[in-house]
Amino acid sequence: MTSENITIQKAIPEDAQGIGEVYYKTWLATYPNEEYGVTKEDIDFIFKDIKNSDGSKYISLPDNTVYFTAKENGHVVGVCKLVKHDDINELKSIYVLPEQQGKGVGKMFWSEALKFFDSTKDTVVKAVVYNKNAIEFYKKLGFRETGKIFYDETFRMQSGVIPPEIEMIIPATSTVV
Protein backbone atom coordinates (compact mmCIF):
# COMPACT_ATOMS: atom_id res chain seq x y z
CA MET A 1 0.00 0.00 0.00
CA THR A 2 1.55 3.33 -0.99
CA SER A 3 0.57 6.93 -1.53
CA GLU A 4 2.03 7.09 -5.06
CA ASN A 5 -1.34 7.93 -6.69
CA ILE A 6 -2.11 10.61 -4.16
CA THR A 7 -1.49 14.31 -4.75
CA ILE A 8 -1.56 17.17 -2.25
CA GLN A 9 -2.89 20.56 -3.29
CA LYS A 10 -4.61 23.64 -1.89
CA ALA A 11 -8.38 23.21 -1.56
CA ILE A 12 -10.51 24.58 -4.41
CA PRO A 13 -14.28 25.31 -4.35
CA GLU A 14 -15.06 22.02 -6.13
CA ASP A 15 -13.52 20.13 -3.18
CA ALA A 16 -16.12 21.34 -0.69
CA GLN A 17 -18.35 18.25 -0.75
CA GLY A 18 -15.39 15.87 -0.68
CA ILE A 19 -13.82 17.70 2.27
CA GLY A 20 -17.10 17.51 4.17
CA GLU A 21 -17.32 13.77 3.53
CA VAL A 22 -13.77 13.16 4.71
CA TYR A 23 -14.50 15.04 7.95
CA TYR A 24 -17.75 13.15 8.50
CA LYS A 25 -16.36 9.67 7.79
CA THR A 26 -13.17 10.12 9.79
CA TRP A 27 -14.98 11.70 12.75
CA LEU A 28 -17.39 8.75 12.74
CA ALA A 29 -14.47 6.34 12.73
CA THR A 30 -12.50 8.27 15.36
CA TYR A 31 -14.58 10.04 17.99
CA PRO A 32 -17.53 7.95 19.25
CA ASN A 33 -16.38 6.76 22.68
CA GLU A 34 -18.41 5.10 25.40
CA GLU A 35 -16.17 6.14 28.28
CA TYR A 36 -16.32 9.84 27.33
CA GLY A 37 -19.99 9.75 26.30
CA VAL A 38 -19.51 10.66 22.64
CA THR A 39 -22.00 8.85 20.42
CA LYS A 40 -22.43 8.23 16.70
CA GLU A 41 -25.54 10.42 16.95
CA ASP A 42 -23.38 13.29 18.24
CA ILE A 43 -21.24 13.06 15.12
CA ASP A 44 -24.27 12.71 12.81
CA PHE A 45 -25.72 15.86 14.38
CA ILE A 46 -22.58 17.91 13.75
CA PHE A 47 -22.57 16.93 10.08
CA LYS A 48 -26.32 16.99 9.44
CA ASP A 49 -25.95 19.96 7.07
CA ILE A 50 -23.04 18.47 5.19
CA LYS A 51 -24.96 18.30 1.90
CA ASN A 52 -25.74 22.02 2.08
CA SER A 53 -22.15 23.06 2.66
CA ASP A 54 -21.08 25.68 0.14
CA GLY A 55 -17.48 25.00 1.06
CA SER A 56 -16.63 28.68 1.47
CA LYS A 57 -15.13 28.03 4.89
CA TYR A 58 -12.55 25.79 3.25
CA ILE A 59 -11.73 28.20 0.46
CA SER A 60 -12.23 31.84 1.56
CA LEU A 61 -9.56 31.98 4.22
CA PRO A 62 -7.48 34.66 5.87
CA ASP A 63 -3.84 34.87 4.70
CA ASN A 64 -2.57 33.04 7.78
CA THR A 65 -4.68 29.93 7.07
CA VAL A 66 -4.47 27.21 4.44
CA TYR A 67 -6.46 24.10 3.61
CA PHE A 68 -4.81 21.25 1.72
CA THR A 69 -6.51 18.25 0.22
CA ALA A 70 -5.08 14.84 -0.63
CA LYS A 71 -6.71 13.45 -3.76
CA GLU A 72 -6.71 10.07 -5.43
CA ASN A 73 -8.18 9.96 -8.94
CA GLY A 74 -9.82 13.32 -8.32
CA HIS A 75 -11.49 12.24 -5.08
CA VAL A 76 -10.66 13.93 -1.79
CA VAL A 77 -9.22 11.30 0.57
CA GLY A 78 -7.67 13.61 3.17
CA VAL A 79 -7.74 17.19 4.46
CA CYS A 80 -5.34 19.33 6.43
CA LYS A 81 -5.83 22.79 7.93
CA LEU A 82 -2.89 24.92 9.03
CA VAL A 83 -2.83 28.31 10.74
CA LYS A 84 0.12 30.68 11.25
CA HIS A 85 -0.64 32.80 14.32
CA ASP A 86 1.52 35.78 15.33
CA ASP A 87 3.26 33.77 18.02
CA ILE A 88 2.85 30.10 17.04
CA ASN A 89 2.14 27.71 14.17
CA GLU A 90 -0.98 25.62 14.66
CA LEU A 91 -1.69 22.29 13.02
CA LYS A 92 -5.49 22.56 13.22
CA SER A 93 -6.40 19.23 11.70
CA ILE A 94 -5.32 16.30 9.61
CA TYR A 95 -8.00 13.81 8.61
CA VAL A 96 -7.39 10.89 6.27
CA LEU A 97 -10.19 8.54 5.20
CA PRO A 98 -10.01 5.31 7.26
CA GLU A 99 -9.28 3.13 4.20
CA GLN A 100 -6.42 5.46 3.18
CA GLN A 101 -4.70 5.66 6.55
CA GLY A 102 -1.24 4.22 7.04
CA LYS A 103 -0.15 4.91 3.45
CA GLY A 104 1.89 8.02 4.14
CA VAL A 105 -0.78 10.67 3.42
CA GLY A 106 -0.44 12.19 6.90
CA LYS A 107 3.29 12.55 6.33
CA MET A 108 2.69 14.18 2.94
CA PHE A 109 0.53 16.80 4.69
CA TRP A 110 3.23 17.30 7.29
CA SER A 111 5.77 18.06 4.54
CA GLU A 112 3.47 20.83 3.30
CA ALA A 113 3.03 22.10 6.85
CA LEU A 114 6.79 22.42 7.30
CA LYS A 115 6.96 24.56 4.14
CA PHE A 116 4.06 26.77 5.29
CA PHE A 117 5.02 27.19 8.95
CA ASP A 118 7.57 29.60 10.40
CA SER A 119 10.29 27.34 11.84
CA THR A 120 11.39 30.07 14.25
CA LYS A 121 8.10 29.64 16.15
CA ASP A 122 6.70 26.79 18.22
CA THR A 123 4.24 24.46 16.47
CA VAL A 124 1.25 23.15 18.40
CA VAL A 125 -1.51 20.62 17.82
CA LYS A 126 -4.37 19.39 19.97
CA ALA A 127 -5.62 15.81 20.05
CA VAL A 128 -8.56 14.27 21.88
CA VAL A 129 -7.21 12.38 24.90
CA TYR A 130 -8.51 9.01 23.75
CA ASN A 131 -7.36 9.44 20.13
CA LYS A 132 -4.27 7.32 20.71
CA ASN A 133 -3.60 6.83 16.99
CA ALA A 134 -3.35 10.56 16.38
CA ILE A 135 -1.17 11.04 19.47
CA GLU A 136 1.23 8.31 18.29
CA PHE A 137 1.27 9.82 14.80
CA TYR A 138 2.12 13.28 16.20
CA LYS A 139 4.85 11.78 18.40
CA LYS A 140 6.29 10.23 15.26
CA LEU A 141 6.42 13.70 13.70
CA GLY A 142 8.33 14.98 16.74
CA PHE A 143 5.55 16.47 18.89
CA ARG A 144 5.68 16.08 22.67
CA GLU A 145 2.86 16.46 25.19
CA THR A 146 2.89 19.76 27.12
CA GLY A 147 0.65 18.43 29.91
CA LYS A 148 -2.04 21.06 29.19
CA ILE A 149 -5.64 19.91 28.77
CA PHE A 150 -8.23 21.95 26.85
CA TYR A 151 -12.02 21.92 26.70
CA ASP A 152 -12.99 23.69 23.47
CA GLU A 153 -16.54 25.05 23.59
CA THR A 154 -16.83 24.79 19.79
CA PHE A 155 -16.25 21.03 20.19
CA ARG A 156 -19.28 20.61 22.48
CA MET A 157 -21.46 17.68 21.37
CA GLN A 158 -25.25 17.66 21.05
CA SER A 159 -25.26 15.56 24.24
CA GLY A 160 -23.41 18.33 26.09
CA VAL A 161 -20.08 16.50 26.31
CA ILE A 162 -16.84 18.24 25.34
CA PRO A 163 -14.08 15.70 24.60
CA PRO A 164 -10.93 16.84 26.44
CA GLU A 165 -7.89 17.53 24.28
CA ILE A 166 -4.20 17.39 25.08
CA GLU A 167 -1.75 19.88 23.64
CA MET A 168 1.40 18.75 21.87
CA ILE A 169 4.31 20.89 20.75
CA ILE A 170 7.43 21.02 18.61
CA PRO A 171 9.63 23.84 19.90
CA ALA A 172 10.88 26.50 17.50
CA THR A 173 14.11 25.75 15.71
CA SER A 174 16.68 27.83 17.51
CA THR A 175 18.47 30.20 15.17
CA VAL A 176 22.14 31.02 15.41
CA VAL A 177 22.71 34.75 15.05
Ligand X SMILES: CC(C)(COP(=O)(O)OP(=O)(O)OC[C@H]1O[C@@H](n2cnc3c(N)ncnc32)[C@H](O)[C@@H]1OP(=O)(O)O)[C@@H](O)C(=O)NCCC(=O)NCCS
- Which residues contact ligand X (rule: CB under 6 A)? 26, 30, 93-96, 101-107, 127, 131, 133-134, 136-137, 140
- Please answer whether residues 52 and 174 qualify as being in contact, where contact means their C-beta atoms are separated by less than 8 angstroms: no
Distance from C-alpha of 159 to C-alpha of 36, rounded to nearest angstrom? 11
| Residue 16 or 79 having the CB closest to ligand X | 79
Residue 55 CA, distance from chain mean position: 16
Nearest distance in Å: CB 177, ligand X: 33
Nearest distance in Å: CB 175, ligand X: 27
- 101 Rama sector, left if φ>0, alpha if ψ -120 to 50, beta otherwise: beta
Please count the residues of the chain.
177
- Residue with the CB atom nearest ligand X in the bound state: 106
Nearest distance in Å: CB 70, ligand X: 8
| Residue 40 or 60 having the CB closest to ligand X | 40
